[in-house]
Amino acid sequence: MSTVGPVRPPRPDERLRQIIDRLADGVVVVGGDGLVRFVNPAAQVLFGRGAAELLGREFGFPTLAGETTEIDVVRPGGATAAAELRAVETEWEGEPAYIVSLRDVTDRREAEERRRQAEAEQAARRDAESEARRARFLSNVSSVLSSSLDYHATLSVLAKLAVPELADWCVIDVLEEDGRMARVAAAHAEHEREPLLAVLCDEFPPRMDGPSVGAQALRSGTPVYVPRVSDEWLEGVTTGPEHAALIRALGIRSLIAVPLVARTETLGVATLVGATRGYRRNDLATAEDFAQRAALSISNARLYAAAQEASRAKSEFLAVMSHELRTPLNAVMGYADLLQAGIGGAVSERQRGYLDRIKEGARHLEGIIDEILAFSRMEAGQEAVRARRVDLRDVVRQAGDLLRPLARQKSLELELRLPPEPAIVETDPEKVLQILRNLGTNAIKFTDQGQVRIEALRDHPHHLLRIVDTGIGIRREHRERIFEPFWQVEQSNRREVGGTGLGLAVARRLAELLGGRLTLESAPGRGSTFTLALPAADNPENGGDPSA
């Protein structure tokens, strides 16, 4: 008799089972229907679930035979693990199935992650450091640039600054005003190679029509960037084997040539060479920044030089012109005097009147010429101070004598307000007189009613001279500008009042020349007060004699 029961499929043999159970790797058997048939203890640990929870359930991971995949396992409670999964087709209890082996790679993966993070941190730190260095470098560049207007000197400092920060060696060429290229700076990070660099500059000076990268960048106005220099390339940008050999001796691996462009004008080119370093894209950005700053310095220096030259030419012209005007003017005045004296024959009353008008006009012209001469002398630094002990009251009285006729013509009162005691100053009285005359003439010119007053007063440690008028006054926004040469306030009666616009410029410079100060207070419509402060001679601080 045979017992008919369910046919039990053969189970893996017990020894094999024991081996599988002790394996460090997880082993799962998945049936053709995707349900779990068997799990060893290592797999239970990996999934964080017991056999009861796993058996008969959906396995849920891909089981492609022969392929290794990495899977993420989420354990109950949320902890995660990573495993490497490998599946093999087999039979299990007579049915097709997969044996899936699972290796826990959580630790390895974490280690990898940590390494990646460390690397990223390191790279970030490197980037930050290089960014900080770059910023420091560029700020050094800026301070060098603002410290000098001599751009040749500035550019050689810049070249020195560029090595080794930005290049192992570099040269800077400028485009001269005659259209030629001129090398103005060169520097090598290795001191011993500087002589070699000097030879390169002497023997192979850059030419606008030459093959050099500098000339290329200059002609095109765009940077040349060569990450890796080849022999072939070097041949193309040199004038011959000797030239190339010299450059090789200086060291060349990578190169950037950036044109120096300011205000749309290409002024020169900086060629930066990496002997050992290879330039990358962000080096190009730094180089362009560097070039832009250098260009601005050249441009500023040139503008400044041009302005200086123009100003010098103007002063020279004024000086020459004033002299030339004086000679014929002297003739006009001299012959008018002769006529008036009756030396050329009898002169009628009417003719005498005309001669007065001629002389008046001539004196006016003379005044203007003197003003221009004084100004150009001062611009040229030729004005000398002849100082002596002076009682300012005497100078004020002299100024009063000069100005009284002008005041009378406009029916203005001219008052001198002087202290009873002497106002002693160690100064050049001619210059003080000229200041008073300029200020007094203005005061009368710009006052139609009331009074012009000159007063001397003490304001320790100074003596003050004040010219006070009750005229049109000066608006706040004009109070500094009126001291500029040739500057005048726009006004409707400009033609009547005339003037050169030099009076105040001369007065202020003379005041400074005398160690004093000229200041202004004014109320538009009510009048102005100009104050000249001069150091008192009886003030011990000024080295004077208190008993004087």
> Can you tell me the distance from the alpha carbon of 164 to that of 16, in angstroms, rounded to the nearest whole number?
69
From the list 274, 184, 247, 175, the residue with the least C-alpha distance to 215 is 175
From the list 153, 223, 140, 221, the residue with the least C-alpha distance to 184 is 153
CB nearer ligand ADP, residue 104 or residue 469: 469
CB of 522 to ligand ADP, least distance (A): 7
Contacts with ligand ADP, 438-457, as mask; x by CB under 6 A: x---xx--x-----------
CB of 530 to ligand ADP, least distance (A): 7
When asked if residue 504 is in the footprint of ligand ADP (CB under 6 A), the reply is: yes
From the list 46, 15, 43, the residue with the least C-alpha distance to 28 is 43
Residue 115 is inside which H or E element, if any? helix 106-146
Cis peptide leading into residue 535 (ω within 30°)? no
318, 502, 511, 537: residue in contact with ligand ADP (rule CB under 6 A): 502
When asked if residue 367 is in the footprint of ligand ADP (CB under 6 A), the reply is: no
Contacts of 190 (CB under 8 A, 6+ apart): 168
When asked if residue 426 is in the footprint of ligand ADP (CB under 6 A), the reply is: no
Residue 480, Cβ density class (10 Å: 0-12 exposed, 13-18 middle, ≥19 buried): exposed
> Can you tell me the distance from the alpha carbon of 158 to that of 162, in angstroms, rounded to the nearest whole number?
6
Size of the site for ligand ADP (CB under 6 A): 19
CB nearer ligand ADP, residue 348 or residue 449: 449
Residue 414 in contact with residue 447, Cβ under 8 Å?
no
CB nearer ligand ADP, residue 28 or residue 511: 511
HSE, CB side, 13 Å, CA atoms: give it for residue 291.
33
CB nearer ligand ADP, residue 427 or residue 438: 438
Contacts of 165 (CB under 8 A, 6+ apart): 133, 137
CB nearer ligand ADP, residue 274 or residue 471: 471
From the list 154, 200, 204, 209, the residue with the least C-alpha distance to 180 is 209
CB of 501 to ligand ADP, least distance (A): 4
148, 299, 300, 500: residue in contact with ligand ADP (rule CB under 6 A): 500
CB nearer ligand ADP, residue 197 or residue 465: 465
When asked if residue 472 is in the footprint of ligand ADP (CB under 6 A), the reply is: yes
CB nearer ligand ADP, residue 204 or residue 375: 375
When asked if residue 499 is in the footprint of ligand ADP (CB under 6 A), the reply is: yes
CB of 456 to ligand ADP, least distance (A): 18
CB of 306 to ligand ADP, least distance (A): 26
503, 516, 535, 544: residue in contact with ligand ADP (rule CB under 6 A): 503
When asked if residue 471 is in the footprint of ligand ADP (CB under 6 A), the reply is: yes
335, 489, 515, 539: residue in contact with ligand ADP (rule CB under 6 A): 489
Order of strands across the sheet with 462-469?
413-417, 451-459, 462-469, 527-535, 517-523
CB of 307 to ligand ADP, least distance (A): 22
373, 505, 510, 532: residue in contact with ligand ADP (rule CB under 6 A): 505
| DSSP-derived secondary structure for 424-493 | EEEE-HHHHHHHHHHHHHHHHHT--SSEEEEEEEEETTEEEEEEEE-SS---GGGTTGGGSTT-----TT
What residue ranges bind ligand ADP (CB under 6 A)? Answer: 438, 442-443, 446, 469, 471-472, 474, 482, 488-489, 499-505, 528
